[in-house]
Amino acid sequence: MKEEEAVTLSTRILLPFSYSVGLTASRFFIELRDNKRIMGTKCPKCVRVLVPPRRYCGECLAEVDEWVDVGDKGTLVAYTIMHKASPNLPKKPPFAYGVIKLDGADTNIVHILGEVDLNKINPGMRVQAVFKDKREGSILDIDHFKPL
């Protein structure tokens, strides 16, 4: 009997996939989409405001169900500049991502910095969210944060 030859193919398969983000993230994204409002959840036990919102507090593990509007202004905590292109990036480099502590929040959010000279970005600078005109219910409904 003749031995079979094994053939190996290298290929890339793209599999479209949809999933539910859950009740907490759904409400967060709906507020961005419909009201241009950044919402957080406030822990009843340790009183921290969590953005992005969470159902349970990461510090004290309490269930969190109070929603608060944290506003669209904050302070840049840290940043990095993207130089290399990738199909997963929302923009063409160079651009900056910032770690932002919104005024009404106790946690940070990471987002794109725009309308800024990449050589003049400094931690501590004040920033404000700029929303897209056409919003679809995702974090990218905030187009970027710009310096104040």
Domain range annotation of the chain:
22-147
pTM score, whole prediction:
0.86
Question: What pLDDT is attached to residue 13?
Answer: 81
Burial class of residue 134 in the structure, from the number of CB atoms within 10 Å of its CB (0-12 exposed, 13-18 middle, 19+ buried): exposed
Question: What pLDDT is attached to residue 9?
Answer: 78
Burial class of residue 28 in the structure, from the number of CB atoms within 10 Å of its CB (0-12 exposed, 13-18 middle, 19+ buried): buried
Q: What are phi and psi of 107, to 5 degrees?
A: -120, 170
Question: What pLDDT is attached to residue 15?
Answer: 82
Question: What pLDDT is attached to residue 1?
Answer: 62
**Can you list the residues of the chain whose pLDDT is less than 70?**
1
